[in-house]
Amino acid sequence: MQLHDLMARLDLAVIRLQFYGSIRMELYEALSLLLENRVLLDVALKDMYKIYSENGKKPKRALAAVTYDCYREVADGKPLSKALAKWVPYQEYTLIAAGERSGDLKTSFDNCGKIITAKQDIVGAILLATVYPSFLMAMVCVMLVMVSTKLVPKLARTSNPETWSGAAAFLYEMSQYVVHYGAITLAGILIFLFLVFASLPYLRGGLRVHLDKLPPWSVYRMLHGSTFLLNVGVMIQANVSLQDSLRMMAAEASPWLRERLNAAFYGLGIGGNLGVALSKAGYDFPDKKAVQFLMILSGKDGFEDALSNFGDRWLKKSIKQIQSAAKMAIAGGIITVGVILMTVISGVSGIQDAIQAVAK
């Protein structure tokens, strides 16, 4: 591979990293505004490039690079969806392509914005549920190591640990466990957590159906189930058939989600609506209650709007549940830190009492 090709690929990768959700929303909003005011697509892209690149002074900015590339592709006669295919997630590409087929790109851009906002809300909820509790647990580990390797050995040199009792004895036993088995225990916990989180997108079959009722698998099912409902509603509104919607999502889905989408696709193929297909699949996806509602809604007029509204509400409900779980995890972390602090304080107090008793 030549150096020039390598640098070109590196530039492309950097631009893709910079072209994240909020930036893509800015592009969609600008295109929507200009198209709504009857500006031709190629003209809109050319003018946007001038704005984002500051008249060509900063062509490597993400929006500048993307709009210029799209302008060249569209000017050559290619549809916008094909021009954006290498820049945006597959799901957004399919929505834009559907908008081109229906002649309503503005609605497609609005729907892309809705999907991006939903993903951002989900990421925010997940970060809230994991980052701060993880920080608290890290504090607990550091505290245990400091107490076990610094404080307790120093106190043990002034008093025989065999004479300690109550909280002092417990603190000593805890410090001995941390010193001798702490590293192994921590490694085991980290390996277990790695396997759990690695299993989320890959583990399938009957075992996974049962695990999906327990966190964190239930949270994973909840999030993907709510975005699934939202995505299907948006695609149907964009005149994408239900079968094509499932096929498109399955093409880029994780093995776990693909298993559920393929089962639903098979159910549609042998007859029945979306609710019936999801029920026959037997995975309780998105969940049992949602499937029951879908069985009712699928046979009614205005299913597209009803499904989209149902997906919106389900997503908001899922995010609230995750936020509640995050608050519980934070509270649990704070309580754990408090209990360990009280144990250390009580243990040190007991050791001091033992030292004073020996001195007398």
Write out the two tokens for 349: 């107090």
The per-residue pLDDT of the chain, averaged, comes to 85
Region of residue 272 (phi > 0: left; psi between -120 and 50: alpha; otherwise: beta): left
Which pLDDT score is estimated for 113? 86
pLDDT, one tens digit per residue, over 200-224 is 999 998 899 999 988 889 888 887 8
Give the confidence band of 167 by pLDDT, cuts at 50, 70, 90: confident
How much of the chain exceeds pLDDT 90, in percent? 24
Q: Is 0.75 topped by the overall pTM?
A: no
Report, as an integer, the average pLDDT of 149-163.
84
Cα–Cα distance for residue pair 355/175, rounded to 1 Å: 19
3-29 confidence digits (pLDDT tens): 555 666 777 788 888 888 899 999 999
Q: Six-digit token pair at 71?
A: 């302008």
Q: For the chain, which residues make up each domain, given as ranges?
A: 3-88, 103-360
Looking at residue 136, what is its pLDDT?
Answer: 81
Can you tell me the distance from the alpha carbon of 236 to that of 245, in angstroms, rounded to the nearest whole number?
7
Question: Helix-strand-coil percent breakdown of the chain, rounded to 5?
Answer: 80, 0, 20
Distances in Å between the Cα of 272 and the Cα atoms of 276, 291, 354 are 6, 13, 76
pLDDT for residue 341 is more than 80? yes
Please state, in angstroms and rounded to a whole number, the distance separating the CA atoms of residues 113 and 119: 10
Q: How confident is the model at residue 359 (pLDDT cuts 50, 70, 90)?
A: low
**283-290 average pLDDT score:** 87
Q: Percent of the chain having pLDDT more than 70? A: 97
Of 322, 308, 354, nearest in space to 122 by CA: 322
